[in-house]
Structure 1
């Protein structure tokens, strides 16, 4: 066995400087020119018509004793292809609230977007906006008087909001006719009295509302079964509506089971198990329950660790999927461990949280709350454990296209420690393509099949599937061929290829998910030869069953993460996620499948950005995630930064701190090696707090509580110029950005593709001499709702992050680890 060393953790080595972003002022709004007189007259007339119509509706409802609201919902619309100044539509002091912002394609020109915003205006406050229109009408732009010209010019039309103004899902999913369907109802505000007021209104309208609710910053989400007419009545009756969405249905994927006598295999493996009885790391599998009577699961899954969100369901697995997940989360693919005879050490335990009923299907419910409750039940039972969540339950479709949902936001809330300040690693599957007719267009079909809810969660480690399985040993499969070649994307795997670039890269990684077989007549189907092996849920009848797709991949990711956490018990969950990504690589076959080389055999950053949206950062390498070799070095810094600050007496915030990491570097060794190729990799991992709800993704309304970015000094760039390049606050008054190269061209992926979501990773391949002087990394904040929504009182919070930096040389005789360990006074561990 080769020499291995533990990763090096740098403790409190970062330096803190005051930070100001170099990009002052932000992007300019694109506002149309207007004829002030005619435009102001149009807006005044529309405003008067809105309130006249609102009075008529209120009088009509009052006459028949229908509930009424104390205020009006107004929809503001921008001009096609131009911005709408949504920031100025809200006046919190007057109770005027911006509820949602969305865009549609212009009917006259589908290439242009129209921005619409829904605003609630309390009764008696309508004069606030009318005053702005009048001031715009009476004053030319410029001068000392406020003319509100920018806001008014940005508004094309005003109207009373209608049901479609609040429906933030595919319009085809709106309830039709008298059919009642389950809908998510998003309320503005989180006070108990707001929820109670809404429940009373819903009861008066005969709308069935579930008891569960989810709360996010400025939003409460409930589930109600409603017709289209009832939703429209809700808008007329309640002053608290922010948006509606169709509730998700879940899909559970189970393979056909085979009845084989495999008891001898189980007994042999059981005799080789070395389970740590004092394990402090647990994988909590949220699924259909688990049958821990299986001889392989009994040592790792105690009765006390089997839970159900609804106690009446029982904790046993009646369907089989949860037990299959547990087997892989405990041991990996059993096909591999059954083929050797050496002892198998297991340093983590399992927990099972049943989140799906034993018979039939759940009524649509707030799956975010069910997921949180499943994790909390396990935590109450064993609060001292370092817990990793694992879930392969997803929606049936990818209609969110990367947009946050109540389910994905609940996972972001749980993982960020919003309620209890406890961060958690949570692993989710990306969702599966399961239809034979869609496989026929592989791999093009994968590009159009979106990662399913809640896989768009920013903080979750979302796992897609690739495959190495291509051997068809079944004699009945003569002349069949595997659809995917070894190392390629699994036909099951969904992607974020068609998502807007502002949404996170998903999946984050890919792991073995199996393959499908293509028959001579064109029929495509699943087969056990191309699947993974796991524990069956009916051990008295059969010991093993097959599992595949992104369920199997997610369970393997949990198995790997648990081993990393057991190796580094004090490491943060942000670090474990970072190590999984830091160790990942794209197989050659995967790059050949999706990258398009130019005439020189090179790939562009946009090519790698595309690959990232299909396969994430690739396949993680457990050995690299666990330890370094002498010719490889991984440095890890876990730190806290305060992104924002607020001056006394001011309501707005600004950026506060930047961290400078001066890394211990094997400089002399690198200089000696000169032209030797070296790979440098940087990964920045952190968990954001969610601010869901479509109140816009520009200006001050952001989903993420904060964002961080990293920068690396260039070859020959001085420390002073590097800091000034990143940090405007480090420059003298009037001093411009230093005329130094940023080195952006050296990165494999580039900032345009990597700087989304809450984990950013990139690779630079150069010579040892080039990299020898590049040991300065700056970590600095970008905008988030902590800064923009100061009234929520979280602007002064500190943010955690993990920074991982790796150096790798292909020459195993080169020792770059020991010189760094000596600098830091770390004893060099040797395992032979």
Structure 2
């Protein structure tokens, strides 16, 4: 895929409005492929193995560095057929004293399909393990079931492994060949001398490699940090047999958080010297928590004392009462603080911080749960009265336990239903002021579109950890107020799948969740009734949980969390206190999501809060571990269940803010009138600037279309059935796309009864082509954000540049006496086209259509 270095395209003036009356309307994973020519298939694999071995030998002979006790051999990469798993056990025989050994496995998405890459170290003299099996396969190739077919039929290609083959983090994060960066080197434990051999190599003439002073071991691996280039590591692979895996370093949480105050201060001072705070009018993240220690060295340039507030004016605002708010502030400002410390060169920040103390300090009465909505509203009012008007993302990692069913309520309807707290957030997001009274939730004023707010809210944490942590998370519902419709609710996943610890501490313990899987902390909406929206919408890094060798104990460890800022627990002790600590769970995930929101606001200051929320969700993708669950579902409804666990996956700043020549994102912001009187009002047709010619030229190439519709509803939180006039949402919006064989006129007539002439029959509906991931289920789902992904041919997509947005029912329509008829509603429509693995430019012709010829400077 091309580099994402182009601006998303904001479009306007291409939306046609019509009066609207709706028209009435009455997987398994692939088996190993059987090659068409097994003889040629096996011969090609044999040739790949022999060529790899010969090339590796020549590379060793050309390398002047010699390391005693290293074992000469060849790193070989086996590549699977798409959506087929390799026979990993057969690639890792473990027989004899010297044998091939599986070192690293990675799954990449190639043209929309998952391909598995396994890298094996084959010591000299042991390639016969594979060659003998190929001989046996070839000798029985005429049989219906050749020998070793389970091994051979799954392999698409074999080649000499590159240094990238040992990289098990996302391929997009692999450093440039000659860039000096820190790496995590995962060394296979063989004889205890692995570090000695590595240091011997690093100290040889002509080698530019710095090895970290600390190394920690677990199970069969030793992990050490090395600062070098990818090119140097490639040369090291020719000599050293010890390298098993390469990763981006997460050492700051594991190592630096445990250092003494003086050592931490050295690292903090080095980062501060590189940081330039954002200007005073930059976007802000308002951390709604226990307060923030604003004099922290890493925060003070971005958080001024007058931007520290309390929801209750009697609470002191400028001190963090238990450290949680300061931990969140570090993540909200820097994202992953460990990555910021690993980086080199200047670090200009794009946003600033505010603090809103939402929880009472020690010595003050606890907040009553029934008053959380009012306390939140009062705090927001304080922030906005005293603060300047600027783009703002509210970050709230404070949740309450979701109440259980009362005797007269059906349990299935309780989970996920609105509370006064969640409804307050919905009202605030929609631009309304709220207050609690004896009679319920009172809306103080009409919603002001210019006062729309973005709230980023935690899904809440699981506190009891089972070995089957996914089932536990599915049974633990999102906590109040994370069920709010208008907020961005954040769950947690984890890439922290290794437990690095000093010798003798937690020996034998292991991380509970696998890489890319849901964090054991994260709650879900699987248990919600289908009446309520899908939550969380996204997941971000929240750390992992450690499990004892006997499986009897499971609990959080700082070594599996993220590095962040620490507050002194006693006022006036900052100079002697440790400035760094760790944070995890959905709180940490929420703060990082707020950081992402502020970065988007900085790049696109004209975007509405609903558009920023939409872009974050639109940029999210499922990890291979998540995608496995999705691909195993056989129905659209089952996919929705998986969606209630992971949301749309893990968002990405680059995807959220940048297009590429082969990955185009269009953003439209419009205002619609959903209802006229007690009837539906308008339908919008977006005639999008479309790369029609370029798509036609691609013909049968598979491409992807992604659409996200984001808007804010006005809540009606009274508990009276949630149907008809008692609908919770003021209105709903939906989208539809013109089909490939459908004319513009027929598209209008398929959706809008008013497009038909008097007496005219509705035209026969054009058949849908391609494949929607969720289909009608995505459109019927409750909530104020709808998203779906379509896959089909480029020539098909060339005809689909017309998208409709239309209203469905809500209490605005049913309760005309409340004065909301003829009320306008804003929405954001986000449309992306991706042509993966195809060398074509779809961005430029569309940019020319909208009159944009420049890109955003990064």
TM-score (norm 1): 0.69
CA distance change for structure 1 residues 620 and 742 in 2, over 3 Å: closer, same or farther?
farther
SS at 1:362 equivalent:
coil
Taking the aligned partners of 1:335 and 1:801, their CA distance within structure 2 comes to 37
For residue 797 of structure 1, report the CA deviation from its aligned partner.
0.8
For residue 533 of structure 1, report the CA deviation from its aligned partner.
1.1
For residue 746 of structure 1, report the CA deviation from its aligned partner.
2.3
For residue 741 of structure 1, report the CA deviation from its aligned partner.
3.1
2:10–2:666 contact (8 Å) kept in structure 1: yes
1:398–1:450 contact (8 Å) kept in structure 2: no
- Which position in structure 2 is the counterpart of 1:751? 776
1:285 aligns with 2:311: no
For residue 749 of structure 1, report the CA deviation from its aligned partner.
1.1
1:383 aligns with 2:388: yes
Residue of 486, 489, 498 corresponding to 2:527: 498
Residue of 579, 588, 591 corresponding to 1:555: 591
For residue 831 of structure 1, report the CA deviation from its aligned partner.
6.0
- Which position in structure 1 is the counterpart of 2:544? 515
For residue 777 of structure 1, report the CA deviation from its aligned partner.
0.5
1:490–1:515 contact (8 Å) kept in structure 2: yes
SS at 1:732 equivalent:
coil
1:407 aligns with 2:438: no
CA distance change for structure 1 residues 339 and 280 in 2, over 3 Å: closer, same or farther?
closer
CA distance change for structure 1 residues 623 and 818 in 2, over 3 Å: closer, same or farther?
same
- Which position in structure 1 is the counterpart of 2:748? 723
- Which position in structure 2 is the counterpart of 1:304? 306
Deviations 1:658-708 (A, max 9, x none): 000011110000111112221100000000000011122222221100100
1:783 aligns with 2:809: yes
The within-5 A match list for 1:232-243 is none
CA distance change for structure 1 residues 370 and 796 in 2, over 3 Å: closer, same or farther?
same
- Which position in structure 1 is the counterpart of 2:796? 770
Taking the aligned partners of 2:742 and 2:297, their CA distance within structure 1 comes to 61
Taking the aligned partners of 1:305 and 1:282, their CA distance within structure 2 comes to 10
The total of aligned residue pairs comes to 588
Segments of 5+ residues of structure 1 without an aligned counterpart are 26-256, 647-652
The within-5 A match list for 1:427-576 is 427-436=456-465, 439-475=466-502, 476-522=505-551, 523-538=553-568, 539-540=574-575, 541-576=577-612
SS at 1:507 equivalent:
coil
- Which position in structure 2 is the counterpart of 1:344? 347
Taking the aligned partners of 1:728 and 1:585, their CA distance within structure 2 comes to 37
1:3–1:830 contact (8 Å) kept in structure 2: no
2:711–2:826 contact (8 Å) kept in structure 1: yes
Deviations 1:400-427 (A, max 9, x none): 4110110000000000013351101110
CA distance change for structure 1 residues 683 and 3 in 2, over 3 Å: closer, same or farther?
closer
SS at 2:611 equivalent:
helix
CA distance change for structure 1 residues 830 and 431 in 2, over 3 Å: closer, same or farther?
closer
2:688–2:801 contact (8 Å) kept in structure 1: yes
SS at 2:22 equivalent:
coil
For residue 365 of structure 1, report the CA deviation from its aligned partner.
4.3
For residue 813 of structure 1, report the CA deviation from its aligned partner.
2.4
Taking the aligned partners of 2:605 and 2:517, their CA distance within structure 1 comes to 34
Taking the aligned partners of 2:708 and 2:524, their CA distance within structure 1 comes to 21
Taking the aligned partners of 2:377 and 2:350, their CA distance within structure 1 comes to 25
Taking the aligned partners of 1:544 and 1:494, their CA distance within structure 2 comes to 27
SS at 1:697 equivalent:
coil
Residue of 607, 632, 636 corresponding to 1:605: 636
- Which position in structure 2 is the counterpart of 1:668? 693
CA distance change for structure 1 residues 830 and 566 in 2, over 3 Å: closer, same or farther?
closer
- Which position in structure 2 is the counterpart of 1:354? 357
Segments of 5+ residues of structure 2 without an aligned counterpart are 27-256, 405-413, 433-444, 569-573
1:11 aligns with 2:46: no
1:433–1:491 contact (8 Å) kept in structure 2: yes
Deviations 1:467-522 (A, max 9, x none): 00112110312211111111000000000112111211100100001000111121
SS at 1:724 equivalent:
helix
Taking the aligned partners of 2:425 and 2:857, their CA distance within structure 1 comes to 39
CA distance change for structure 1 residues 404 and 735 in 2, over 3 Å: closer, same or farther?
farther
2:770–2:791 contact (8 Å) kept in structure 1: no
1:3–1:831 contact (8 Å) kept in structure 2: no
Taking the aligned partners of 2:291 and 2:673, their CA distance within structure 1 comes to 41
Taking the aligned partners of 2:838 and 2:309, their CA distance within structure 1 comes to 48
For residue 526 of structure 1, report the CA deviation from its aligned partner.
0.9
Deviations 1:595-648 (A, max 9, x none): 3637xxxx53223211111111111111010110111111111000001112xx
- Which position in structure 1 is the counterpart of 2:431? 417
1:23 aligns with 2:24: yes
For residue 762 of structure 1, report the CA deviation from its aligned partner.
0.3
Taking the aligned partners of 1:736 and 1:726, their CA distance within structure 2 comes to 13
CA distance change for structure 1 residues 312 and 260 in 2, over 3 Å: closer, same or farther?
farther
Taking the aligned partners of 2:534 and 2:762, their CA distance within structure 1 comes to 30
CA distance change for structure 1 residues 822 and 265 in 2, over 3 Å: closer, same or farther?
same
SS at 1:369 equivalent:
helix
2:312–2:379 contact (8 Å) kept in structure 1: no
For residue 24 of structure 1, report the CA deviation from its aligned partner.
7.9
For residue 828 of structure 1, report the CA deviation from its aligned partner.
3.4
CA distance change for structure 1 residues 260 and 726 in 2, over 3 Å: closer, same or farther?
farther
Deviations 1:320-364 (A, max 9, x none): 111111110000121211112222221111100101111163344
Taking the aligned partners of 1:788 and 1:3, their CA distance within structure 2 comes to 46
- Which position in structure 1 is the counterpart of 2:329? 326
1:662–1:775 contact (8 Å) kept in structure 2: yes
2:268–2:297 contact (8 Å) kept in structure 1: yes
Residue of 639, 649, 652 corresponding to 1:621: 652
2:493–2:541 contact (8 Å) kept in structure 1: yes
Taking the aligned partners of 1:545 and 1:735, their CA distance within structure 2 comes to 70
Taking the aligned partners of 1:743 and 1:282, their CA distance within structure 2 comes to 44
For residue 735 of structure 1, report the CA deviation from its aligned partner.
4.0
- Which position in structure 2 is the counterpart of 1:110? none
Taking the aligned partners of 1:456 and 1:824, their CA distance within structure 2 comes to 38
Taking the aligned partners of 1:531 and 1:4, their CA distance within structure 2 comes to 31
The within-5 A match list for 1:54-203 is none
1:393 aligns with 2:398: yes
- Which position in structure 2 is the counterpart of 1:198? none
* Structure 1 segments (4+ residues) deviating >4 Å: none
- Which position in structure 1 is the counterpart of 2:54? none
Taking the aligned partners of 2:590 and 2:856, their CA distance within structure 1 comes to 32
Residue of 614, 617, 629 corresponding to 1:581: 617
SS at 2:747 equivalent:
helix
For residue 441 of structure 1, report the CA deviation from its aligned partner.
3.1
Taking the aligned partners of 2:797 and 2:803, their CA distance within structure 1 comes to 13
Taking the aligned partners of 2:496 and 2:643, their CA distance within structure 1 comes to 22
CA distance change for structure 1 residues 579 and 596 in 2, over 3 Å: closer, same or farther?
closer
- Which position in structure 1 is the counterpart of 2:269? 267
For residue 260 of structure 1, report the CA deviation from its aligned partner.
3.1
CA distance change for structure 1 residues 497 and 368 in 2, over 3 Å: closer, same or farther?
same
Residue of 686, 703, 716 corresponding to 1:678: 703
SS at 1:825 equivalent:
coil
SS at 1:637 equivalent:
strand
CA RMSD of aligned residues (A): 1.8
Mean Cα deviation higher: 390-399 or 618-627 = 390-399
2:704–2:789 contact (8 Å) kept in structure 1: yes
CA distance change for structure 1 residues 813 and 596 in 2, over 3 Å: closer, same or farther?
closer
Taking the aligned partners of 1:806 and 1:705, their CA distance within structure 2 comes to 28
1:490–1:514 contact (8 Å) kept in structure 2: yes
The within-5 A match list for 1:773-812 is 773-811=799-837
For residue 716 of structure 1, report the CA deviation from its aligned partner.
1.1
For residue 376 of structure 1, report the CA deviation from its aligned partner.
1.5
